[in-house]
């Protein structure tokens, strides 16, 4: 199969590219404008004749046509993140929602066989019950969550209206090598690791009892790869959760153990507006339709990520300078 991965120079996308090529895809093409993704993430494939990178914007019709030519399967991951949505909600909508609509339109014109839309658990808002199955209400608390939900709605509409084979998948929190600690894109787990490795206390917004459902990126990319094949997935919406929830307090404690600095206890800042209180995905439907089961337990994944940061060259003070541990209240004002 010839596969296009939009956002493939990013964190999850680059791992998906590695997984698809390792599993024998005839060609994997990446479309990414390198806003938050890097060539470095794809360095392992740069000499692979089955791999190509198209640098461009999903909002550009000429670029989309070039990237989609001859493609069988599209994985659509290109997007701007939750913190970006706070200070630039309109651009966030343009890339995440409109960008998905125009990708669907171009993919349909190209006659692709399947369009896999990588959404997010942020479409739910906070858990009204747990574990959260696919029928859980969607009340996103940020423009990011809203724009990703629009992308879901468009993907399902292309299945219902045009009979196009579209699949929506909602990863919960993903972590692992290449995850973002820096700036707008920084995720809580790598940010916490960088702080503790630099001898700084971790920052928790609120009481730290808010929870997330974490999956290692090797499991996330393996699960996504399964969606390229098999009948019975067209029109489906699938949660991709581990079925386990971790509080921010427990996360900081796990990192402190892995780093060997249990003395670095968290600093508590005020709670962030719009911060989701609880996320816990129900993995049942994904398992029954694809046979997927995760393999990396959280503590092992954290220890491996700490080792990856320790081995990956750059000095910790340098990384620390790139972290934005500001509260969203402050971020909104800039």
Burial class (CB in 10 A: 0-12, 13-18, 19+), 10: buried
Q: How far apart are CA 251 and CA 248, in angstroms?
A: 5
When asked if residue 36 is in the footprint of ligand NAD (CB under 6 A), the reply is: yes
Q: Clarify whether 117 is annotated catalytic.
A: no
Instruction: Please tell me whether residue 37 binds ligand NAD under the rule CB under 6 A.
Output: yes
Is residue 7 a contact point for ligand NAD (CB under 6 A)?
Answer: yes
Q: Are 168 and 119 in contact (CB under 8 A)?
A: yes
Decide: is 27 part of the binding site for ligand NAD (CB under 6 A). no
Q: In this structure, how many other beta carbons lie within 10 angstroms of the beta carbon of residue 253? A: 17
Distant-in-sequence, close-in-space partners of 11: CB < 8 Å, separation ≥ 6: 37, 41, 174, 176, 178, 179, 180, 217
Helices (H), 198-327: 217-226, 248-259, 284-290, 298-311, 316-320
**161-200: contacts with ligand NAD (CB under 6 A):** 171, 173-174, 180, 185
Q: Which two tokens stand for residue 123?
A: 């479409």
Chain residues 108-147 in contact with ligand NAD, contact rule CB under 6 A: 118, 120
In the bound state with ligand NAD, the residue whose beta carbon lies nearer, of 228 and 264, is 228
Which among 30-38, 108-116, 262-270, 317-325 is the span making contact with ligand NAD, rule CB under 6 A? 30-38
Residue 23 Cβ, how far from ligand NAD at the closest point, in Å? 19
Residue whose C-alpha is closest to residue 51's, from 34, 66, 31: 31
Q: Which residues, numbered 67-86, are part of the site for ligand NAD (CB under 6 A)?
A: 77-81
Q: Which of 36, 28, 133 is nearest to 72 (CA)?
A: 28
Which listed residue (33, 106, 239, 249) binds ligand NAD by CB under 6 A? Answer: 33
Q: Which of residues 86-115 bind ligand NAD (CB under 6 A)?
A: 95, 99
The residues binding ligand NAD (CB under 6 A) are 7, 9-13, 32-37, 57-59, 77-81, 95, 99, 118, 120, 148, 171, 173-174, 180, 185
Q: Among all residues, which ones are annotated catalytic? A: 144
């Amino acid at each position: 199969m010839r596969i296009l991965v939009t956002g493939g120079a990013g964190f999850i996308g680059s791992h998906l590219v590695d997984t698809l090529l390792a599993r024998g895809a005839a060609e994997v093409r990446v479309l990414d404008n390198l806003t938050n993704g890097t060539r470095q993430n794809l360095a392992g494939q740069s000499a692979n004749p089955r791999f190509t990178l198209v640098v461009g914007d999903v909002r550009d019709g000429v670029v989309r046509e070039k990237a989609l030519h001859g493609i069988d399967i599209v994985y659509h991951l290109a997007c701007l993140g939750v913190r970006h949505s706070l200070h630039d909600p309109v651009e966030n909508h343009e890339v995440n929602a409109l960008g998905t609509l125009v990708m669907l339109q171009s993919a349909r014109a190209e006659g692709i066989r399947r369009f896999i839309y990588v959404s997010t658990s942020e479409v739910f808002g906070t858990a009204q019950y747990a574990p959260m199955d696919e029928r859980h209400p969607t009340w996103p608390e940020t423009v990011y969550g809203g724009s990703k939900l629009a992308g879901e709605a468009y993907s399902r509409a292309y299945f219902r209206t045009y009979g196009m084979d579209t699949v929506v998948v909602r990863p919960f929190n993903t972590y692992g090598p290449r995850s973002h600690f820096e700036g707008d894109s920084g995720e809580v787990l790598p940010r916490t690791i960088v702080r503790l490795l630099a001898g700084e206390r971790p920052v928790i917004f609120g009481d730290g009892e808010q929870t997330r459902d974490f999956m290692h990126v090797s499991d996330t990319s393996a699960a996504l790869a399964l969606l390229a094949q098999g009948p019975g997935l067209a029109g489906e919406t699938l949660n991709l959760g581990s079925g386990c929830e971790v509080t921010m307090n427990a996360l900081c404690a796990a990192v402190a153990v892995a780093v060997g600095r249990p003395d670095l206890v968290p600093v508590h800042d005020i709670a962030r507006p719009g911060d989701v209180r609880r996320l816990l995905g129900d993995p049942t439907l994904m398992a029954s339709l694809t046979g997927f089961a995760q393999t990396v337990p959280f503590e092992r994944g954290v220890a491996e990520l700490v080792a990856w940061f320790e081995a990956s060259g750059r000095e910790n003070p340098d990384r620390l300078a790139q972290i934005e541990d500001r509260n969203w209240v402050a971020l909104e004002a800039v």
